[in-house]
């Protein structure tokens, strides 16, 4: 009993000293990070052509992080230490998950744009062969396709109609979708409009390049599928074992949630699991 109280007092004293000495830096750090996260969320929504209210986004982020953290703490009351630990974890995850979710949606949108470029550039190449201009070929894409690539082309054409040059509109397209294939398309069109050249043949070359890149990516996904599954299993095994012990003999793992040493060990375990999962994901992620 004395040892437990000693651990609690020592842990609390360390937290108090760190907070007292670095309070200004800690507040500044979290303020900058929160503003950075909010701005990144707004930028991701803008890139996906979704209108967003900054104040509403800030309110949603606060409710999904601090709001859920307070609810978690109240649910676990009167276990103060466990409540603070789980509430802090929920608060951090609630602040990060919306950004991660939007990042995932944006990555999927970028991939869909690149995949649709094969059909879109084929239509544009046929239009150029028929004697149409770049903008007229883009209008044929809108008439024959739907999806994110058609939305991006429609935005490019709308900006051209409002007075922006085709070069600047395409550069903005490349900034919204920062993929090598899109950059190659934008650079090619802008260069050939200045120097002259066979646009139809260039579009066909880009289509061929995209198809070869997609073949390589699919091959890499097949080769790394086993490593991805192993990483998922290794990350989930400790949590599955913990749940099994709770169902079979809860008293065996109860000290993890009721004693200071158990809570500290649980926090260290979660931290190491997260770090290990991130490292394994980076190992099996190969960009072409």
Q: Of 2-16, 61-75, 129-143, 210-224, give the lowest mean pLDDT range.
A: 2-16
pLDDT at 24: 63
Cis amide leading into 78 (omega within 30): yes
SS3 286: coil
Q: How many other CB atoms are found less than 10 A from the CB of residue 58?
A: 16
**CA–CA dist 161, 159 (Å, integer):** 5
Degrees to nearest 5, angle at CA 220 with 122 and 179: 45
pLDDT at 178: 85
The distance from CA 261 to its chain's CA centroid, rounded to whole angstroms, is 35
Annotate 18-68 with DSSP letters as a single string: HHHHSHHHHHHHHHHHHHHHHHHHHHHHHHTT----HHHHHHHHHIIIIIH
Q: How many other CB atoms are found less than 10 A from the CB of residue 115?
A: 16
pLDDT band of 29, cuts 50, 70, 90: low
pLDDT at 286: 67
pTM for the predicted model, two decimal places: 0.68
pLDDT at 20: 61
Q: What CATH number labels 115-208? A: 1.20.81
Give the tens place of pLDDT for each residue, 96-148: 788 888 888 888 888 888 888 888 888 888 888 888 888 888 888 888 888 88
pLDDT at 33: 64
Query: Domains of the chain: which residue ranges?
Result: 115-208
pLDDT band of 2, cuts 50, 70, 90: low
């Amino acid at each position: 009993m004395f040892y437990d109280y000693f651990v609690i007092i020592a842990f609390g004293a360390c937290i108090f000293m760190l907070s007292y000495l670095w309070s200004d830096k800690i507040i500044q750090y979290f303020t900058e990070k929160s503003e950075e996260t909010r701005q990144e969320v707004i930028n991701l929504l803008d890139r996906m052509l979704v209108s967003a209210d900054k104040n509403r986004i800030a309110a949603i982020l606060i409710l999904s992080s601090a709001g859920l953290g307070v609810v978690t703490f109240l649910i676990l009351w009167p276990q103060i230490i466990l409540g603070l630990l789980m509430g802090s974890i929920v608060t951090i995850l609630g602040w990060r998950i919306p950004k991660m979710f939007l990042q995932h949606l944006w990555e999927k949108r970028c991939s869909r744009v690149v995949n649709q470029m094969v059909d879109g550039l084929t239509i544009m190449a046929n239009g150029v062969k028929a004697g149409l201009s770049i903008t007229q070929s883009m209008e044929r894409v809108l008439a024959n396709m739907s999806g994110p690539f058609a939305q991006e082309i429609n935005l490019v054409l709308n900006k051209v109609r409002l007075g922006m040059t085709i070069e600047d509109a395409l550069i903005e397209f490349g900034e919204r979708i920062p993929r090598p294939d899109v950059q190659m398309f934008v650079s090619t069109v802008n260069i050939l409009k200045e120097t002259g050249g066979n646009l139809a043949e260039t579009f066909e070359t880009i289509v061929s390049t995209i198809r070869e890149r997609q073949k390589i990516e699919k091959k890499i996904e097949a080769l790394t599928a086993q490593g991805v599954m192993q990483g998922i299993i290794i990350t989930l095994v400790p949590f599955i074992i913990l749940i099994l012990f709770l169902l079979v003999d809860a008293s065996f793992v109860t000290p993890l949630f009721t004693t200071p040493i158990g809570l500290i060990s649980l926090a260290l375990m979660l931290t190491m699991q997260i770090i290990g999962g991130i490292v394994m994901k980076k190992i099996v992620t190969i960009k072409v």
